[in-house]
């Protein structure tokens, strides 16, 4: 019977797939085979129930040691990465937890192989189970995908004050994990939110990204006040205070906001460093009031 080129190609592909499976199986079972030889060395001089007890006992002891070492090593590497100050804080947190989970997973797979379960077959079953679990836990896995996107695109980093579609207001990012992020509000309220809520919601507002932010305060003066003198006094006071940013483009601005029969309201705009934004709001009002009183200008 003639053999077609298609049959030859199919047979070659099947042989290559089988070879790849055998290669993977050998690579994964190499550490387990070494442990099997150690166990066999201690049990070969015994027979029957004694040999079985020794074999099972040694496998249990080795399994406990592998899991303990894997958990300790994963935790130690996570701790070390979190204290590598030359790495970005966000990257330290994400990589530390990811590496910890990876080492623990490798330890568990090694322990399963120690009890005679073929690694290649185990991976095939885990792949099928992973697909089923992935379909059932789409929301949870979307948090991992959102965490990866946040890590790549970097809309914020650890230490930044952000606001997203949670309604909780601005909060400082404490850490970024595989499934969720930890934040703390200005009132010291702890927030743990899934990454998908941050990434998949509306806009992410980062209040710390830019070095300086503009803010404004309003000052009400009596209607008979010399407005030009008041504007000059406020402008000069803000310009000469080193706590306010004043590099030309961000020079303080003072203008009339509204006028009524009883008062005139001035609007003062100024720039401050992002980390000083909140405290300087009250300090600006204090500085403006002291300056106006010094020039004999009364508030309304």
User: What mean pLDDT value characterizes the chain?
Assistant: 78
Domain match, 106 and 164 both = no
The domain boundary, picked from 206, 222, 238, lies at 206
Angle at CA of residue 282, ends 261 and 164, nearest 5°: 105
Domain match, 289 and 186 both = no
Domain match, 202 and 275 both = no
Residue 261 lies in a domain: yes
Partners of residue 259 on adjacent β-strands? 264
Domain match, 195 and 289 both = no
- Given a cut of 50, whether residue 195 has pLDDT beyond it is yes
Overall average pLDDT of the 150-154 stretch: 84
CATH of the domain at 98: 1.10.287.1260
Domain match, 243 and 286 both = yes
Least confident range from 74-83, 91-100, 219-228, 260-269: namely 91-100
Domain match, 52 and 34 both = yes
Residue 150 lies in a domain: no
Neighbour order of strands in the sheet with 212-222: 212-222, 263-273, 253-259
Domain match, 45 and 108 both = yes
Confidence of residue 119 (pLDDT cuts 50, 70, 90): low
- Given a cut of 90, whether residue 176 has pLDDT beyond it is no
pTM reported for the whole predicted model: 0.57
CATH of the domain at 185: 2.30.30.60
Q: What's the CA gap between 45 and 31, in Å, rounded?
A: 23
Residue with tokens 């970024």: 176
Distance of CA 116 to the CA centre of its chain: 39
Domain match, 242 and 173 both = no
Q: For residues 31 and 63, which has the higher predicted lDDT (pLDDT)? A: 63
The domain boundary, picked from 136, 167, 190, lies at 136
Contacts of 229 (CB under 8 A, 6+ apart): 295, 297
Q: Judging by beta carbons within 10 Å of its beta carbon (0-12, 13-18, 19+), is residue 6 exposed, middle or buried?
A: exposed
- Given a cut of 80, whether residue 31 has pLDDT beyond it is no
Neighbour order of strands in the sheet with 171-176: 190-194, 180-185, 171-176, 161-163, 205-206
Residue 148 lies in a domain: no
Full residue range of the structural domain in which residue 14 is found: 5-136
* pLDDT in the model for residue 17: 43
Q: What's the CA gap between 168 and 201, in Å, rounded?
A: 14
* pLDDT in the model for residue 41: 57
Residue 143 lies in a domain: no
Helices (H), strands (E): how many in the chain?
Answer: 8, 8
Q: For residues 178 and 9, which has the higher predicted lDDT (pLDDT)? A: 178
* pLDDT in the model for residue 76: 87
3 state SS of 115: coil
Overall average pLDDT of the 130-135 stretch: 71
Domain match, 100 and 176 both = no
* pLDDT in the model for residue 262: 86
- Given a cut of 60, whether residue 18 has pLDDT beyond it is no
Residue 299 lies in a domain: no
Domain match, 109 and 47 both = yes
Residues 215-265 pLDDT 10s:
888 999 988 888 889 998 888 888 887 878 877 778 888 999 999 888 899
How many structural domains comprise the chain?
A: 3
Residue 113 lies in a domain: yes
Confidence of residue 278 (pLDDT cuts 50, 70, 90): confident
Domain match, 167 and 66 both = no
Domain match, 16 and 81 both = yes
Residue 10 lies in a domain: yes
- Given a cut of 60, whether residue 73 has pLDDT beyond it is yes
Residue 15 lies in a domain: yes
Contacts of 30 (CB under 8 A, 6+ apart): none
């Amino acid at each position: 019977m003639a053999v077609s080129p298609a049959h030859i190609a199919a047979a070659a592909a099947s042989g290559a797939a089988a070879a790849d499976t055998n290669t993977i199986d050998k690579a994964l079972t190499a550490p387990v085979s070494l442990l099997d030889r150690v166990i066999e060395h201690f049990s070969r001089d015994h027979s029957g129930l004694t040999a079985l007890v020794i074999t099972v006992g040694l496998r249990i002891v080795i399994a406990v040691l592998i899991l303990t070492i894997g958990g300790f090593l994963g935790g130690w590497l996570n701790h070390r990465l979190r204290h590598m100050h030359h790495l970005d804080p966000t990257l330290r947190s994400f990589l530390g937890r990811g590496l910890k989970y990876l080492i623990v997973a490798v330890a568990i797979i090694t322990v399963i192989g120690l009890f005679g379960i073929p690694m290649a077959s185990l991976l095939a079953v885990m792949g099928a189970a992973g697909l089923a679990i992935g379909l059932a836990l789409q929301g949870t896995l979307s948090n991992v995908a959102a965490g990866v996107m946040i890590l790549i695109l970097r809309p914020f980093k650890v230490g930044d004050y952000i606001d997203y579609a949670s309604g909780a207001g601005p909060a400082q990012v404490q850490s970024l994990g595989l499934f969720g992020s930890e934040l703390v509000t200005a009132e010291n309220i702890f927030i743990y939110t899934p990454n998908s809520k941050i990434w998949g919601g509306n806009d992410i507002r980062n209040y710390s990204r830019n070095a300086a932010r503009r803010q404004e305060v309003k000052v009400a003066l009596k209607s008979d006040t010399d407005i030009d003198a008041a504007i000059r006094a406020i402008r000069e006071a803000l310009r000469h205070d080193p706590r306010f940013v004043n590099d030309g483009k961000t020079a303080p601005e003072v203008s009339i906001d509204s006028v009524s029969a009883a008062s005139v309201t001035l609007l003062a705009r100024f720039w401050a460093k992002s980390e000083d934004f909140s405290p300087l709001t009250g300090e600006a009002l204090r500085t403006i009031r002291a300056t106006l009183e010094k020039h004999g200008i009364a508030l309304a």
